[in-house]
Amino acid sequence: DAGITQSPRHKVTETGTPVTLRCHQTENHRYMYWYRQDPGHGLRLIHYSYGVKDTDKGEVSDGYSVSRSKTEDFLLTLESATSSQTSVYFCAISGGGDRSSYEQYFGPGTRLTVT
Amino acid sequence: SQQGEEDPQALSIQEGENATMNCSYKTSINNLQWYRQNSGRGLVHLILIRSNEREKHSGRLRVTLDTSKKSSSLLITASRAADTASYFCATGESGGYQKVTFGTGTKLQVIP
């Protein structure tokens, strides 16, 4: 299946510190996404990318920024972490091969705790 | 934003029984997908049904789509303990980036 990794897998950080999460794919998929998953909310889109240096906001983008300088890497940065950003973060990719570009393939997730 | 609403939120059945989960959504869609998530893992794509399709099968999975009622159902036949997971519907809208919006999920427990 899709080769997609996330790093780190777990992180504990203090309020006010910047944090960067990395998503790396080996599948040459065009689209990349960052979601957060919280109990009772399902998955909510933070930011997405439709190509190198092409990104846009999702529904919960406040406090987050992203960058995509290479096809394979999509970085999510929390500029100044807050306790409300404690969550599990998932990266996903789509738009590769002969599969529908709507089908998304997910990384293993990063559990972030902000104390 | 549009979001699929799954029903029930939780479901517990015996191994061998069938499990049915439902999803309702609010506006026009290009397609509807179902994903599975095992505890502590990422989501896994199960099946996609397009808006002009009414039913689709994949192994023990059967998905129906009724665009007039804006609803879909996922049937898992002859359930196994390994089917224990959360199941999410996701609606795909036409647009510049193939937007997909996830529901809040149904937690399925299959008791051996």
CB A62 within 8 A of CB A47: no
Per the CB < 8 Å rule, is A104 touching B96? no
Res B12: pLDDT: 97
Average the pLDDT over B12-38 and give the result. 94
Task: Give which of B33, B44, B102 to mutate to test A binding, by max A Cβ within 10 Å.
Answer: B102
Q: pLDDT at residue A97 above 80?
A: no
Closest CA relative to residue B2, chosen from B76, B102, B111: B102
Q: pLDDT at residue A78 above 80?
A: yes
The SS3 of residue B79 is coil
Q: pLDDT at residue A114 above 60?
A: yes
Percent of chain B exceeding pLDDT 70 equals 94
Number of domains in chain A: 1
Residues of A in contact with B48 (CB under 8 A): 100, 102-103
Q: Whole domain around residue A107: which residue ranges?
A: 4-114
Report the CATH architecture of B5-111: Sandwich (2.60)
Residue B58 burial (CB < 10 Å; 0-12/13-18/19+)? exposed
Rounded (to 5) percent helix, strand, coil in chain A: 5, 55, 40
Res A98: pLDDT: 64
- Alpha carbons within 13 A on the beta-carbon side of B54: 2
Our CA-based measurement puts residue B59 at a distance from the nearest CA of chain A, in whole angstroms, of: 18
Res B96: pLDDT: 56
Percent of chain A exceeding pLDDT 70 equals 95
Indicate the range of A42-46, B80-84, B107-111 predicted with least confidence: A42-46
Q: Which residue has the higher pLDDT, A76 or B94?
A: A76
Domain spans of chain B?
A: 5-111
CB B4 within 8 A of CB B102: yes
Match 């609803």 to its residue by tokens: B71
Res B28: pLDDT: 87
Q: Determine the Cα–Cα distance for residues B47 and B34; give it in Å rounded to an integer.
A: 6
Res A22: pLDDT: 98
Res B100: pLDDT: 86
CATH of the domain at A75: 2.60.40.10
Q: pLDDT at residue B97 above 90?
A: no
Average the pLDDT over A41-61 and give the result. 92
